Amino acid sequence: MQTRSHHLPSLLLAVFSGLGILSTFSGGMFILLSGVLALAVPALFPNSAASPGNDFLLASGLFLCGTLLIPSGYYSLRRLKGKPIQPASIRPIRFWQVIVILALWAVAILLGGWLGNTFKVSWLVTPLFYLPAIALPVLTLLWIGLGGLPLGSHQRVWGTFGIGLLAGPGLATIAELMIYLGLAVLGIVFLLAHPEWTGTFTRIQAQVSTARDLDTVLTILAPYLMNPLLILLAFVVMSGLVPLIEELLKPVAVWLLAGRLRTPAEGFALGALSGAGFALVEGLVAGSSAGEGWGALVVARTGGSLMHILATGLMGWGIASAWQERRILRLVGSYVLSVSIHGLWNGMTVTIVFGALRVFLAGSGSDALGVFLGTVGMVVLAILFMLTLISLVLINRKLRPVPLVLVPTPPDNGSSESCHNVI
């Protein structure tokens, strides 16, 4: 007869999963109903967009997140009931499987973009293509990183992914909001110390509030966005502070499991799972409001997903090494490396944005510096993507357990032939 277990971590994970499922599904339903009401009764939402497409995409993303939390809750309840949970394993991905997934991904992007630009009611079906377009690259990259590595039980796998899906982005968002709040306070102090800027700020705010499109907003803000101090601040925040925060908080599940991890390879695998959850949420949020550039954004997000999976995997590897092998310097080194990869990625993204902004402001003219910045940013990102992908493949192969091989040995004193297990 099965006995019930009072396993506190499983109880906490079951509560976390239940609350996560409840919040994501209720949030998705609220957004979905808001979009339907905005479409059916436009007078109730005079400031809403004409198309409910963004609401439907965001709602479908929340429904997907809630669905992905169900296995975590299921295995936690199973553990609390004293029922056995089998160990999880993922075979290394094959080349033909990568080709099939890439083909499905391309179909999802092309059909989703075509429907979005062709039919007025495309919002009814675009979620069917939006979800796989965002999720398939994350799935493929995660499979590349996890194939053949020790993972622990199904509960550990799904629990780690679920925590990375909700807790990682949630904690990082709170920490980053504190930074932005601090910057806002500094801005208020600056305005109080320089009252002559108050009128300028009020005028800009009034102009932006009456702008009807993004081009007008950019034209209004251009003289201030291109200020060297603002550019420096953007690099400091996006390439410095944000990576420092996110690489510390993304592997929150690995930190919680640090004392129970058996090998650094398991730490890398669970870190990659946490990074994949973080990347999936980031992609779903970004893709839900991309507009006409949706397909390009989905493709660009692939690089960000790869960066998150590798960087968080390295952090998991460092955490497990520190706890299991007492290699504190390896943890410090993995953190520095993860932050550096993340910071370089964000820095090149900021470079591309400012380069594109210069080109936009040049209008019909040409801006050589803007073109140069955009080109350098894209080239460096392409190189970094390839190096990161190669690193993920090589690290996976390096960390795979060496299989046991049966080697025959000569018979001893006329006895029958025996075999010994060697590594």
**How far apart (Å, rounded) are the C-alpha atoms in residues 137 and 301?**
9
pLDDT digits (tens, 9 = 90+) for 25-35: 999 999 888 87
pLDDT at 402 over 50: yes
pLDDT for the residue numbered 281: 95
- Positive or negative torsion for Cα 78, 132, 349, 397: positive
Residue 399 structure tokens:
């960390």
pLDDT confidence tier of residue 416, bands split at 50, 70 and 90: very low
* Mean of pLDDT over the chain: 85
**How far apart (Å, rounded) are the C-alpha atoms in residues 214 and 95?**
42
Strands 405-409, 418-422: pairing kind: antiparallel
For residue 95, what are the CA distances in angstroms to 39, 100, 103, 104?
A: 45, 9, 13, 15
pLDDT for the residue numbered 67: 96
Amino acid making up residue 110: L
Q: Are 345 and 304 in contact (CB under 8 A)?
A: yes
**How far apart (Å, rounded) are the C-alpha atoms in residues 390 and 335?**
20
Residue 224 structure tokens:
């201030």
**How far apart (Å, rounded) are the C-alpha atoms in residues 145 and 155?**
19
pLDDT for the residue numbered 259: 86
pLDDT at 404 over 80: no
pLDDT for the residue numbered 417: 43
**How far apart (Å, rounded) are the C-alpha atoms in residues 6 and 18?**
18
pLDDT at 3 over 70: no
pLDDT at 307 over 60: yes
pLDDT digits (tens, 9 = 90+) for 40-57: 766 655 555 445 667 888
pLDDT digits (tens, 9 = 90+) for 102-143: 999 999 888 877 776 665 556 667 778 889 999 999 999 999
**Which among 280, 281, 295 is positioned nearest to 107, based on CA atoms?**
295
Residues 6+ apart with CB under 8 A from 74: none
pLDDT for the residue numbered 295: 76
pLDDT confidence tier of residue 204, bands split at 50, 70 and 90: confident
Query: Torsions phi, psi of 146, nearest 5?
Result: -95, -25
pLDDT for the residue numbered 50: 46
pLDDT confidence tier of residue 5, bands split at 50, 70 and 90: low
pLDDT digits (tens, 9 = 90+) for 263-290: 999 999 999 999 999 999 999 988 877 6
pLDDT digits (tens, 9 = 90+) for 151-196: 989 999 999 999 999 999 999 999 999 999 998 888 888 777 777 7
**Using a CB cutoff of 8 Å and minimum separation of 24, what contacts does 199-204 make?**
none
pLDDT at 397 over 90: yes
**Which residue reads 């609350």 in tokens?**
19
